[in-house]
Structure 1
Amino acid sequence: MATVTRENIGLLNDKITVKVNQEDYLPNFDKAVKQFSKAANIPGFRKGMVPAGMVKKMHGQALFADEVLKTVEKELMGYLQNEKLDIFAQPLSLDKESKQLDYSKPEEYAFDFEVGLKPAFEVSPLESGKTTLTRYKIKATDKEVDEEVQRLQLKGGNMTEPEAIDNEDNVLNVEFEETDAEGNVIEGGIKKDNSLLLKYFSPALQEQLKGRKKDDSIVFQLADSFDPERLAWILKDLGFAEDDQEAAKKYFRLTITKVGLIEKRELNEDFFKEIYPNEEITTEEAFRAKLKEEIEKYWDTESRNRLHNDLFEVLVHETPMELPKDFLKRWLQTGSEKPKTAEEAEKEYPNFDHQLRWTLISDKLIRDNKLEVSFEELREGAKQKLLGYYGAGAALDGAEWLDSYLDRLMQDEKFVDQTYREMVTQKLFDWAETKVELKEEEITAEEFAKLPHKHHHHEH
């Protein structure tokens, strides 16, 4: 009769020993031999008439080992279910060497496994008065609204072709040709077409280019002609690394192949209707007010994302929780598809630990507070995700093909699982917001962008 015993070998780390003897596995071995003999196709014997002795001689060891291991696995899984052990991943074998399993000498075999047990814990940061976080309120400035107005005017404007460069908003189609410092083209050097706004160049080069026309050219050095951000972009476009200091010293001849200028759209009702087809906007004042509302809506979303990120960090780093670290590192080495070295597991463990804590915490909060997503909510969430892909929003809502496409998407198990997890996690954050103290602080978008990310340090 098989026996299973358990002993503690470390923090949340137990050893389970499974012992099996002849009566546990021999009946299944004999059955496997008979089944094999019926199906085997061995020269010299009619199919289904292969003697059991021949099967044992040829395949006995493999069949025997298979049945012993199946029996052990069945006993182990049965024990875990009966004892209701809440473990991480799968048990790890402690047997460093393969056991000598001989079908001609059946005997009692003992197999050792170790398991990592999930910890019991309370999510203390959500206890009343324990955590205070900041919700930032970002007001759109007149400057931001002005920039958005100009961007939209240019985006919808008509391209003209002035004779000469005279405006920082001129669009220049140019050809880069690598030269030496004297402007002589290097044979086999880099040659590349590009399209740039005049204002992308350094102030000095802008002055040099003003008044130039199609087919005019100048020679310049990359490093002296762009700010650091533009320089990195230009270097990458020319095939260099963004921080290649030697490449930045290279000279190029820039030949103008076309001068363009976008005529800004007039701020009138036709333009307002194009931007907001479902709104009744008739004045520039109302248009600017709507843009301001949209900008602040965007920043409200960013602010909420930051709040939820802060909540995530607090929950992960300030929830007291013990983990069987040594077991988990061993599991990282052998439990995944691709085996890892001890050094690789050690390096990966901090990120693994971080994500594991969040999985345990979020699963507990979702379970304890009965947070769930109904099928109707899931379908609506999938629809909003789909509309977001197309960037059309309400314009596509109600289209005939949308419902049938949604029906097909809702049959995709992977898509449904991912969408459900995203939505239930959002519900979790919305609920968690109500469990902490929130103070509101009004700041500018520039100040918000410079805020450091909250990150706690703790000993694992």
Structure 2
Amino acid sequence: MATITKEPIGQLHEKISVKIDKADYLPSFEKSLKEYSKKASIQGFRPGKVPAGLIKKMYGPSLFTDEVLKSVDKELINHLQTEKAEIFAQPLPLDTDLAKLDINNPSDYTFDFEIGLKPEFELADLSKADITGYNIDITDEMINEEIDRLQNRYGNMTDKDVVDGSNNVLNVTFVEVDADGNEVADGLKKENSLLLSYFTEAIQKELNGKKVGDSINIVLADAFEDKELEFIAADLGLNKDEEADKKKAFKLNISKISELEKKELNEELFTQLYPEGDVKTEEEFRAKIKDQIFNYWASQSRNQIQDQIFHKLVDNTNIEFPEAFLRKWLVTQSAQEQGEQPAKTEEQIDTEMPTFLNQLKWTLISEKVVKDQGVEVKPEELRAFAQAQLFSYMGGMMPNDTEQPWVNDYIDRMMKDRKYVEDAYNRIQSEKVFEWAETQIKPTSKQVNAEEFTKMVNEHQHAHH
């Protein structure tokens, strides 16, 4: 009968020794040997007629080792389950000489493992956390810009021969060039469609009069103001805040010129955008747009509150870790993931440990909230998540009859995708953790404009990367 002993190695770090005797593995080894004899296909012998001695000689050592290790794993798992041990990852085997396993001399064997134990801890008191809830001003300018965007998006396009107005849409290809205007080998190349008004006044003047097939050379920072530069740089895979990226030069090759005729503000547009028919007048339309803008910024503000909650909990919840075990586990994982490639160095592990421990800390905090608060994710919530995601792919347009067969077929298919279900489960569970946390806080309200809020969020993101 197997015996198991434990001894401490360090903080939340234990050595488990599993000792098995012959009775733990021999019966299963002999059974495995017999089954192998029945299945073995060896030239010169009929199936099932291979002599037992030959099978034992050829395959016995590997089968013997397999059964010993299976017995050890079984005893170790049973012990951890019986003890209800809360451990990190999986037990790591300590050095074991498998050569000592002798099929001709079955004996008692001892295998050693090390485990990292999850700590007990108390959550930081969120009721005392200094958290700010931001209320973003919704201005007429924001409403007008969104209406203008929608009028452009749903407007009509007509082809033109020459660039001649700010409502012109130019299909261009960005081709990276050097200071002399020569194409850079393996440089950036990207197609885009831009309103002439996106460019600075100087570049608009240069583009006026150009035809399909013409081109001009630009420097990003000179061709676009800050707002437009941000999305143009992002589309090119660049960073508008990097000086070198802003100074990159490109040749713009014009492949098509169109005139954008804005959609009129009338019931046709209102019905196109809101087919449910609850918007009939421009006043109702503006009110609807204002509500949508408000909801967008409210969600951004809530994201920021959740970010504050995350940092308050992670920074102020004291959790001890079995760092020696976790470090060794990271090295082992690295070696397995790299395969034939060199595993991570000690210096790389040193660099990664703080981030890894922070992520692990949040995982433990989330697990504690889930357990203590009885957080559940129900099957119908997973199906609702899949349905909402489907409609988001469709631009947020939800069919009047959400019970249509094709909708249910899609959801049924997603529910059979294990990876999708796991991801959806984790996202819903995480949202519920934050929902609980939001009931514990007493945020201070602060009124800000959208520009101030965006700047604050960007500065925070830069500070944490």
TM-score greater than 0.5 by the shorter chain: yes
Q: Aligned equivalents of 1:180 and 1:122: distance in 2?
A: 59
Task: State the match for 2:389 in structure 1.
Answer: 385
Shift of 1:448: 0.9
Residue 226 (1) aligns with residue 229 (2): no
Q: How does 1:301-450 map to 2 (within 5 A)?
A: 301-335=299-333, 337-338=336-337, 340-343=343-346, 344-395=348-399, 397-398=401-402, 399-450=404-455
Q: Aligned equivalents of 2:357 and 2:177: distance in 1?
A: 54
Q: Aligned equivalents of 1:302 and 1:97: distance in 2?
A: 57
Normalising by structure 2, we get a TM-score of 0.83
Note the alpha carbon deviations across 1:64-101, whole angstroms, 9 max, x for none: 21222122222222222222211112111111544421
Say if 1:193 and 1:105 are closer, same or farther in 2 by CA, change over 3 A.
closer
Q: How does 1:260-271 map to 2 (within 5 A)?
A: 260-271=258-269
Aligned-partner residue type, residue 88 of structure 2: F
Task: State the match for 1:108 in structure 2.
Answer: 108
Task: State the match for 2:169 in structure 1.
Answer: 171
The 8 Å contact of residues 176 and 248 in structure 2, kept in 1 or not, is answered as no
The 8 Å contact of residues 207 and 216 in structure 2, kept in 1 or not, is answered as no
Q: Aligned equivalents of 1:53 and 1:194: distance in 2?
A: 74
The 8 Å contact of residues 3 and 19 in structure 1, kept in 2 or not, is answered as yes
Say if 1:77 and 1:143 are closer, same or farther in 2 by CA, change over 3 A.
same
The 8 Å contact of residues 17 and 113 in structure 1, kept in 2 or not, is answered as yes
Unpaired stretches in structure 2, ≥5 consecutive residues: none
The 8 Å contact of residues 85 and 117 in structure 1, kept in 2 or not, is answered as yes
Say if 1:356 and 1:282 are closer, same or farther in 2 by CA, change over 3 A.
same
Q: How does 1:72-111 map to 2 (within 5 A)?
A: 72-95=72-95, 97-111=97-111
Aligned-partner residue type, residue 355 of structure 1: Q
Say if 1:180 and 1:117 are closer, same or farther in 2 by CA, change over 3 A.
closer
Q: Aligned equivalents of 1:223 and 1:181: distance in 2?
A: 13
Shift of 1:284: 2.4
The 8 Å contact of residues 18 and 75 in structure 2, kept in 1 or not, is answered as yes
Q: What is the aligned-residue identity percentage?
A: 46
The 8 Å contact of residues 202 and 224 in structure 1, kept in 2 or not, is answered as no
The 8 Å contact of residues 235 and 248 in structure 1, kept in 2 or not, is answered as no
Q: Which structure: larger Rg? A: 1
Q: Aligned equivalents of 1:374 and 1:349: distance in 2?
A: 35
CA-based RMSD of the aligned residues comes to 3.8
The 8 Å contact of residues 151 and 263 in structure 2, kept in 1 or not, is answered as yes
Q: Aligned equivalents of 2:410 and 2:86: distance in 1?
A: 40
Aligned-partner residue type, residue 274 of structure 1: Q
Q: Aligned equivalents of 2:161 and 2:462: distance in 1?
A: 55
Note the alpha carbon deviations across 1:353-378, whole angstroms, 9 max, x for none: 22222222112111111121333333
Question: Which segment drifts farther, 51-60 or 291-300?
Answer: 51-60
Say if 1:250 and 1:349 are closer, same or farther in 2 by CA, change over 3 A.
closer
Unpaired stretches in structure 1, ≥5 consecutive residues: none
The 8 Å contact of residues 7 and 15 in structure 1, kept in 2 or not, is answered as yes
Q: How does 1:135-150 map to 2 (within 5 A)?
A: 135-150=133-148
The 8 Å contact of residues 167 and 261 in structure 2, kept in 1 or not, is answered as no
Q: Aligned equivalents of 2:182 and 2:333: distance in 1?
A: 62
Q: Match of 2:131, SS?
A: strand
Shift of 1:301: 0.9
The 8 Å contact of residues 387 and 396 in structure 1, kept in 2 or not, is answered as no
Say if 1:175 and 1:60 are closer, same or farther in 2 by CA, change over 3 A.
closer
The 8 Å contact of residues 313 and 454 in structure 1, kept in 2 or not, is answered as no
Shift of 1:220: 4.3
Task: State the match for 2:56 in structure 1.
Answer: 56
Q: Aligned equivalents of 1:222 and 1:351: distance in 2?
A: 38
